[in-house]
């Protein structure tokens, strides 16, 4: 079988299995084992050696220890009341302006994203806290769903991000280390938050019925000093945790794994101070951490196995020759890679996309002369859209599961369309202005 036929057949088999709904991690392993045996003449011991080496390499990857620590930090924070307290204060501060509750959601999700790195916690928490308040104040159903889903997904981009930990552990390059990705991801995350902020303000001022302000009596119930006091009281705990985690990484005090350990401890202390720590919280957080970590690691094994077999059989050379050897412009090649990732995001989990495409696309990007950190952040921003794009956007299902009665999936689909467009605009701006990514790493690490 020629490398071209092998690559197309292997990839198409993966897509067909995903469409039929088979578990992704085990699908990746099964397809890798099957096609690996085909490519090596059914040499079972050799195939087992590849699989065992992949598993052993992951076990020895110190960077990946940060994954369960960041997940545990998010689980404890989700139960500590940080998001609830921050939304209550933002409700009072911003509720009096048009679209103010939507802006409050963006602010809370941005701060929560910089504290946790897990989107499920942000989307579900904001759905439970914000959607009843927004709907009761007359906000459009579609706008409510779109704001909560889009702002909630910032948790996968704004550091600390599990996606970036996986990415950094996957590449093993200094230019795309977890610390570099964290530094490079801050400005793109804030850019998207700013785009959401601007969109809500403009749209609600053009059509105030979409996001009316709260009543004048409710808006003026607190003095300016009371509003400042509430804001500072709700912001100081999460900002302190952000300073511990991100400050220690960017300041060169701790590695991402060590910072994750401090963050996990900090979240427990924060819950303890708020008197939210109980045996049930500790047990549930630990159990959820075990489940999510196991899922991520199984996907990691399956993805690495798939990439190893695919590249070993010459699939990477096939794709490289198509994008590089065919003589097409490098920007067209970049566009093709981004479109492939975007389309896959509508059907496949972000982790699988990352694990399958990065080993193929990153070498091509380097061969085309693109900056590895900049290209990596383009991939990460693009992958964020996978949480919003139908039919399998996870944020949409998180929202639907916790939303008030009366929401249909079509309401949610209509609500997220403007925000997917805003994410594409953000991706375009990062492409045109690469300093959005490279500026902070330059300041912190002197890398560029």
Cα 211 from Cα 200, distance rounded (Å):
8
Report the residue count for the chain.
448
Model confidence at 329, pLDDT cuts 50, 70, 90, reads confident
Q: Which two tokens stand for residue 222?
A: 């607190």
- Region 115-127 average pLDDT: 73
pLDDT at 161: 81
Contact call for residues 6 and 315 (beta carbons, < 8 A): yes
Report pLDDT digits (tens) over 385-440: 888 887 777 788 778 877 888 788 888 889 999 999 999 999 999 999 999 999 98
Q: For 375-423, what is the HEC assignment?
A: HHHHHHHHHHHHHCCCCCCHHHHHHHHHCCCCCCHHHHHHHHHHHHHHH
pLDDT at 422: 95
Cα 188 from Cα 156, distance rounded (Å):
12
pTM as predicted? 0.83
pLDDT at 448 over 60: no
- Region 113-128 average pLDDT: 74
Cα 354 from Cα 362, distance rounded (Å):
11
pLDDT at 24: 74
State what percent of residues in the chain have pLDDT above 90: 16
The mean of the pLDDT values for the chain is 83
The answer to which of 69-73, 119-123, 259-263, 379-383 has the lowest mean pLDDT is: 119-123
Q: Which two tokens stand for residue 331?
A: 């920007």
pLDDT at 326: 65
pLDDT at 57: 79
- Region 290-308 average pLDDT: 82
293-318: b or e for each residue (b if 16 or more CB lie within 10 Å)? beebbbbbbbbbbbbbbbbebbbbbb
Measure Cα distances from 358 to 7, 17, 50, 107, 378 in Å. Answer: 16, 21, 19, 31, 12
The radius of gyration computed from the CA coordinates of the chain, to the nearest angstrom, equals 22
Pairwise pLDDT comparison (149 vs 397), residue with the higher score: 149
pLDDT at 147: 92
Pairwise pLDDT comparison (21 vs 439), residue with the higher score: 439
pLDDT at 447: 58
Pairwise pLDDT comparison (338 vs 84), residue with the higher score: 338
Report pLDDT digits (tens) over 213-229: 877 776 677 777 887 88
The domain spans of the chain are: 64-277+314-445
Listed in sequence order, the DSSP H helices in 40-99 are 44-59, 66-78, 82-94
First to last CA, the chain: 44
Report pLDDT digits (tens) over 168-216: 888 878 888 888 998 899 999 999 999 999 999 999 999 888 888 877 7
Cα 87 from Cα 251, distance rounded (Å):
30
Cα 376 from Cα 357, distance rounded (Å):
11
Report pLDDT digits (tens) over 240-253: 888 888 888 877 78
């Amino acid at each position: 079988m020629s490398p071209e036929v092998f690559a197309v057949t292997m990839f198409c088999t993966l897509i067909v299995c995903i469409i039929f709904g088979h578990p992704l991690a085990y699908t990746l392993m099964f397809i890798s084992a099957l096609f690996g045996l085909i490519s090596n003449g059914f040499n079972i011991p050799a195939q087992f050696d590849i699989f065992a080496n992949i598993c052993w390499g992951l076990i020895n990857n110190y960077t990946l220890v940060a994954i369960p620590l960041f997940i545990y930090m998010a689980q404890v924070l989700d139960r500590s009341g940080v998001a609830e307290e921050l939304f209550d204060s933002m409700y009072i501060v911003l509720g009096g302006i048009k679209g103010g509750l939507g802006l409050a959601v963006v602010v809370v999700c941005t701060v929560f994203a910089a504290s946790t790195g897990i989107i499920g916690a942000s989307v579900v928490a904001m759905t439970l806290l914000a959607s009843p308040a927004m709907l009761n104040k007359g906000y459009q159903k579609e706008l409510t769903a779109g704001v909560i889903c889009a702002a909630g997904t910032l948790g996968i981009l704004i550091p600390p991000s599990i996606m970036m930990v996986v990415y950094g552990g996957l590449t093993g390059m200094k230019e795309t280390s977890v610390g570099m990705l964290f530094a490079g991801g801050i400005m793109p995350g804030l850019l998207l938050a700013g785009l959401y902020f601007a969109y809500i303000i403009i749209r609600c001022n053009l059509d105030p019925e979409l996001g009316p302000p709260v009543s004048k009596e409710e808006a003026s119930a607190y003095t300016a000093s009371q509003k400042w006091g509430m804001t500072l009281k709700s912001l100081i705990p999460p900002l302190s945790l952000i300073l511990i985690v991100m400050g220690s990484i960017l300041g060169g005090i701790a590695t991402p794994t060590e910072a994750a350990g401090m963050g996990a401890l900090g979240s427990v202390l924060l819950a303890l101070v708020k008197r939210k720590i109980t045996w049930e919280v500790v047990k549930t957080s630990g159990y959820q951490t075990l489940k999510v970590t196991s899922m991520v690691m199984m996907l990691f094994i399956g993805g690495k196995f798939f990439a190893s077999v695919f590249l070993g059989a010459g699939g990477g050379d096939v794709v490289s020759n198509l994008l590089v050897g065919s003589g097409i412009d490098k920007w067209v090649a970049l566009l093709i890679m981004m479109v492939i990732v975007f389309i896959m995001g509508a059907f496949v989990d972000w982790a699988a996309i990352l694990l399958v495409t990065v080993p193929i696309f990153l070498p091509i990007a380097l061969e085309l002369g693109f900056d590895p950190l900049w290209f990596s952040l383009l991939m990460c921003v693009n992958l964020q859209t996978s949480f919003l794009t139908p039919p399998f956007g996870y944020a949409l299902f998180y929202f639907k599961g916790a939303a008030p009665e009366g929401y249909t999936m079509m309401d949610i689909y209509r609500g997220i369309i403007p925000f997917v467009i805003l994410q594409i605009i953000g991706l375009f701006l990062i492409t045109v202005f690469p300093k959005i990514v490279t500026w902070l790493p330059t300041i912190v690490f002197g890398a560029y």
